[in-house]
Amino acid sequence: MNNGQANSFVLADPEKCIGCKACEVACFAVHNRENGVGAAAGTVSVPVIPRLYVIRTDSFMMPVQCRHCENAPCAEACPVSAIRQKDGAIQVDEARCIGCKSCAIACPFGAISLFRAYSGGSEYKNRHLKKRQDTTLERKTRIIAYKCDLCRGATPPEEREESGDKSGDESGERTPWCVSVCPEEALTLMTPVKEMNARLAAVRRL
């Protein structure tokens, strides 16, 4: 658990969002390094599957992503305990996920999607489950849940430092890549420390 502290989450400001989808591209790229994404232009061999999505209506645009609920309904709905609170975020254990869709149905924000799993640039196959393809039986591709993990499962901190990315908040928590790349600063990482400081500032203004 999180030692009694609230989870962090990314807050979107629809008044600033221009719908450029830089957040989507960054999210996909940093979570797919093992699939060759980002190594060179034109080498993307897997579907572009970000963990947040920019929605557009007649009146606004904004990204939709996991809010890392304190009493996460997705975790309660998961029959195999594949969704847990870890390091101040709600995370999916992809090795445990069975692709049952219960979490996606339970999420009140529509922030969980299910897609094929990829490893090393290829579809990750089930060990035992098969499907009929024409006249032969083939191993079926695993389906897993995808959601924002606050980049906990993305590029390690040491790689970020080597690339010159020193971004973080006052609590020392690494800023998710979607927040870092937004040209309009429409995304903000909300942490327990940041929320506490905001409340103290509001009290001082009274």
- Domains of the chain, by residue range, sit at 9-204
Residue 67, phi-psi category: left (phi > 0), alpha (psi -120 to 50), beta (remainder): alpha
Amino acid at 101: K
User: What is the rounded (10 degree) CA torsion for 153, 159, 163, 169?
Assistant: 60
Question: How would you label 16-29 residue by residue, b for 16+ Cβ within 10 Å and e otherwise?
Answer: ebeeebbbbbbbbb
User: What is the pTM for the complete model shown?
Assistant: 0.79
pLDDT digit of tens for each residue in the chain (206 aa)?
A: 445 578 999 999 999 999 999 999 999 988 887 766 665 556 677 888 899 999 999 999 999 999 999 999 999 999 999 999 988 899 999 999 999 999 999 999 999 999 999 887 788 888 877 777 777 888 888 999 999 999 987 755 445 555 445 455 555 678 999 999 999 999 999 987 777 777 777 778 87
